[in-house]
Amino acid sequence: MRILTIGDIVASDGREYVYNNLGKIRNKYRIDYCVANGENAAVTNGITADIARTLIESGVDVITMGNHTFSNKEYPIVLEDNPRVIRPANYPPETEGEGYFTEDIGYARIAVINVMGRMNMMPLDCPFRETERIIEKIRDEADVIIIDFHAETTSEKLAFGYYFDGKASAVFGTHTHVQTADAQIMPKGTGYITDVGMTGVRESVLGVKKEAIMEMYYTRKHTRFEKAEGEVWFSGCVFDIDEKTGRTVSVERLYFSEKEL
C-alpha cells in the first residue's frame, strides 16, 4: 500500500493548495492513505474545526499536530470531536485528544502515531518511551504503523528513526518546514525521512514574509510576522509499504508547484 505524508500545511495558501489538488495527487501517485501535519493550517498557527473537516473531506485521512497544537482557541473542539486529528502523545495525559489513531481499511489495519521531540522544544515526556508504550498497546491491531516525529534537530530525529527501525513501518519528521534529502529505507525495513518539508509559499522563511525575518535577524528586534504571498509548493513523501510484513519497500520525495503537478 502507498502512504502519502504531507509536510506542515501553512496558512490559507497551503491549505487551499491541498483542498484543490490532493485528489489529483492521490490519483497520480496511487495513494491508499494520507497523513498530513496541520499544526500551522490556521492563521496564527493551530487548526480550526472547519479547516480540519475540509482537509479530511479533501482526502487527508489523519491530521497530526505539534508544538502549535493549542495555538487556536478551537483546539478543544477539534481534539475532542474529531478522532482523525491527533496531537503529540507525549503531552501530559490530561491533555485533550489522543496521540494515535487506528483504522481498518479492509486489506490493512493502519496506526498513525504523533509524538514530539525534546531538543530545543518544550519539555515533555520521553517520545521514545511513549512511542514504545503505544506500539506495545496496539501491536495486535495494526499491520502498518506510521509515525510523525515533530522535532527540531536532525540528531534527535535520526536517533528516533534508528530506534524504531523494524518496529514501525515509516517515520517521517515535521516541524522545520525544510525538506531533507535523506529519504531512505533503514536496515530493518522502516521508511524514513528527517523532515518532509512544508506545503506553503516557497519564497518565504517557513511561510512568513522573508523581509520580516531578515529584519529580525539583522536588527535583533521583534517584528510582526505576516503570512507570505506567492507561489505555493507542495512537500510530501510517499512510502510504499508491504502491508503483509509492515515494511517499506520504496520511498519517494515529492516537491512541486501546482503548475508542475
Q: Which residues have a catalytic role annotated?
A: 68
Closest CA to 178 of 159, 198, 164: 198
Give the integer Cα–Cα distance in Å for 2 and 250: 9
Please tell me the distance from the alpha carbon of residue 175 to that of residue 97, in angstroms, as a whole number.
Answer: 20
Question: In the structure grid, which three cell numbers stand for residue 189, read together?
Answer: 525495513
| 148: exposed, middle or buried (Cβ count in 10 Å: 0-12, 13-18, 19+) | buried
94: CB partners within 8 A, 6+ apart: none
**Packed helices 49-57 and 11-28: angle between N→C axes, nearest 10 degrees:** 20
The total number of residues shown for the chain amounts to 261
**CA dihedral of residues 78, 83, 88, 90 (deg, nearest 10):** 120
Task: Scan for cell 491491531, then name that residue.
Answer: 141
